[in-house]
Amino acid sequence: MVSKEEEHKKALMQEEIDIIKKMSKIKHKIAVMSGKGGVGKSTIAVNLAAAFAKKGYKTGIMDVDVHGPNVPKMLGLEGKSLKFSDDGIIPIETEEGIKVMSVGFFLSSQDTPLIWRGPAKTGVIKQFFAEVIWGDLDVLIIDNPPGTGDEPLTILQTIPLDGVVLITTPQSVVQEDVIKSVNLVKSLKISIIGIIENMSGFVCPECKKEILIFGKGSGAKMAEKMDVPFLGSLPLDVETSAASDIGTPILIKEPESEISVKILKIADKIESKIMK
Ligand SMILES: Nc1ncnc2c1ncn2[C@@H]1O[C@H](COP(=O)(O)OP(=O)(O)OP(=O)(O)O)[C@@H](O)[C@H]1O
Ligand SMILES: [Mg+2]
């Protein structure tokens, strides 16, 4: 007779096998992370997904922020219901064809907090990766919550990533936390695709002068010091925030804007590093 423990072990092994099978159909997997909250991870993740979709890649985005899943709102998919088939969970698609999966789709309301402890969070993320039917994707962007806790750790240890894109802002307290993420990723021998400095300057719409609210250039210096590539800096831009709030990433809403052009250039760099 098979014991309960053996059955459990078998089920866990099956989950790992399912994850590897599902992930092998996705050519490139990129995690967006930062040691700090509110630095623009989700904003950059949805815009990078939009950039890759625009380039013609079959693109998906996975939001593993269990406590603050913002991706559905940023892509105008808030309140959408998931469909299930015998093979698993079917991701929701945006008009641009970006496949989206988020814990947010499982919440009855965005205002409902999820109270999950470490193992439950790890479990739900693994289940996501085992059960979501992505199909053949060229690239999957994984948006993480801040810090170096359960969710990023699960991603780093479970998913065969091409690498990690780290987001910082110019303030030194933020950079201290991002350095922790750099060290975590390095210690797990996972490649760092590069660092993006977000909210690095503000161009006054009236006088067109650049105001360095949080300073500028320190992201590039930090990248050099940590010996990781620097992918570029993005300005603080009112339209970018407003576009996310109405559910259309700036790259889709205003593709010619200065920040969209910069995001596309960053996507070009990522493309040449991992896809070509
Ligand atoms: N370049 C930018 N210019 C202006 N506003 C921005 C920019 N980047 C992000 N924001 C705004 O800053 C806020 C935080 O951004 P976002 O939610 O993307 O950060 P996050 O790092 O994902 O946060 P969390 O740690 O909570 O997941 C949002 O209101 C977003 O619209
Ligand atoms: Mg976020």
Q: Does domain 11-275 have CATH number 3.20.20.70?
A: no
Q: Which two tokens stand for residue 47?
A: 């815009």
Under the banding of pLDDT at 50, 70 and 90, the label for residue 112 is: low
Helix axes 118-131, 4-24, angle to 10 degrees: 50
Mutate to test the pocket of ligand 1, among 241, 248, 253, 263 (most ligand atoms within 8 A of CB): 241
pLDDT at res. 116: 64
- pTM for the model stands at 0.93
187, 151, 145, 231 alpha-carbon torsion, rounded to 10°: 40
pLDDT at res. 192: 97
pLDDT: is 113 or 260 the higher one? Answer: 260
Tell me: the pLDDT tens digits for 144-183? 999 888 889 999 999 999 999 999 998 888 888 889 999 9
Give the closest residue (by CA) to ligand 1 atom 23.
38
Give the closest residue (by CA) to ligand 1 atom 6.
241
Q: Which residues pair with 85 in a beta bridge?
A: 88
Ligand 2 centroid, distance to 101 Cα (angstroms): 14
Mean pLDDT of 244-250: 97
- Which ligand is nearest the CA of 237, by number? 1
Q: How does DSSP assign 224-272, residue by residue?
A: HHHT--EEEE----HHHHHHHHTT--HHHH-TTSHHHHHHHHHHHHHII
CB-proximal residues (5 Å) to ion ligand 2: 41-42
- Alpha-carbon span 250 to 237, nearest angstrom: 10
pLDDT at res. 97: 97
Q: Which two tokens stand for residue 261?
A: 């052009």
Q: Which residues pair with 209 in a beta bridge?
A: none
Those residues with Cβ within 8 angstroms of residue 30's Cβ, 6 or more apart along the chain or in another chain: 48, 139, 140, 141, 142, 161, 162, 163, 164, 165, 193, 270, 274
User: Of 172, 148, 165, nearest to 222 (Cα)?
Assistant: 172
Q: Does 114 score more than 80 pLDDT? A: no
Strands 210-211 and 202-203, sheet pairing: antiparallel
Mean pLDDT of 234-256: 96
Ligand 1 atom with minimal separation from the 259 CA: 1
Q: Which residues pair with 31 in a beta bridge?
A: 142, 164
Ligand 1 atom with minimal separation from the 70 CA: 17
79 SS3 class: coil
Of 1-5, 58-62, 84-88, 157-161, least confident by mean pLDDT is 1-5
Ligand 1 centroid, distance to 111 Cα (angstroms): 18
Per-position b or e across 110-126, b if 16+ CB within 10 A of its CB? eeeeeeeeeeebbebbb
Ligand 2 centroid, distance to 28 Cα (angstroms): 21
Those residues with Cβ within 8 angstroms of residue 259's Cβ, 6 or more apart along the chain or in another chain: 234, 235, 237, 239, 240, 250
Tell me: the pLDDT tens digits for 188-233? 999 999 999 999 888 787 887 888 887 777 889 889 999 999 999 9
From the CB of residue 165, how many other CB atoms can be counted at a distance below 10 Å?
24
pLDDT at res. 109: 61
pLDDT at res. 193: 98
Residue list, ligand 1 pocket, CB within 6 Å = 34, 37-43, 65, 68, 70, 145-146, 198-199, 234, 236-237, 240-241, 244
Mutate to test the pocket of ligand 1, among 204, 244, 263 (most ligand atoms within 8 A of CB): 244
CA angle 198, 241, 254 (to 5 degrees): 95
Mean pLDDT of 240-264: 96
Ligand 1 atom with minimal separation from the 37 CA: 25
Under the banding of pLDDT at 50, 70 and 90, the label for residue 92 is: very high
Tell me: the pLDDT tens digits for 18-72? 888 888 899 999 999 998 999 999 999 999 999 999 999 999 999 998 888 999 9
